Amino acid sequence: QVQLVESGGGMVQAGGSLRLSCAASGRTFSTLNMAWFRQAPGKQREFVAIISWSGRSTNYAASVKGRFTISRDKDKNTVYLQMNSLQPEDTAVYYCAADPVTWSSANNYENYRYWGQGTQVTVSS
């Protein structure tokens, strides 16, 4: 079993930055691919970024590539999402997810077994 707890959300002006953290508990953390998804009101949950269990591979949604960076610290069992140049359209609840998901299916939220409770990110114009 894996428990995920997100933190770091908040309110920021357009162009600003935030760093989200996802602290994981459970002995299998180092074997899981870790991802961030987000969900805006009235919209479906969408893929943001993923990092492999080794930390060597990452992938991003086109809408955040070049602005967001995902990373993981195995010693701290924590995954981060550094978000720069935030825009109002980035406003959403951000969720951390974990699963030994295959890379080709990583952008589908239905393929993830473990989820955090979410953290709100609000970007004002």
Per-position DSSP letters for 19-75, written without gaps between them: EEEEEEESTTGGGSEEEEEEE-TTS--EEEEEE-TTSS-EEE-TTTTTTEEEEEETT
Is 100 a residue whose pLDDT tops 80?
yes
Residue 27 has pLDDT above 80, yes or no: no
Between CA 35 and CA 101 the distance in angstroms is: 10
Instruction: Summarize the confidence of residues 13-29 as an average pLDDT.
Output: 92
List the structure tokens of 109. 């939220």
Q: Using CA atoms, how far apart are residues 39 and 22, in angstroms rounded to an integer?
A: 16
Tens-place pLDDT, residues 66-98: 999 999 998 999 999 999 999 999 999 999 999
The pLDDT confidence band at residue 103, using thresholds 50, 70 and 90, is confident
Count CB neighbours of 109 within 10 A: 16
Q: What is the pLDDT of residue 94?
A: 98
18-25 and 78-83 strand pairing: antiparallel
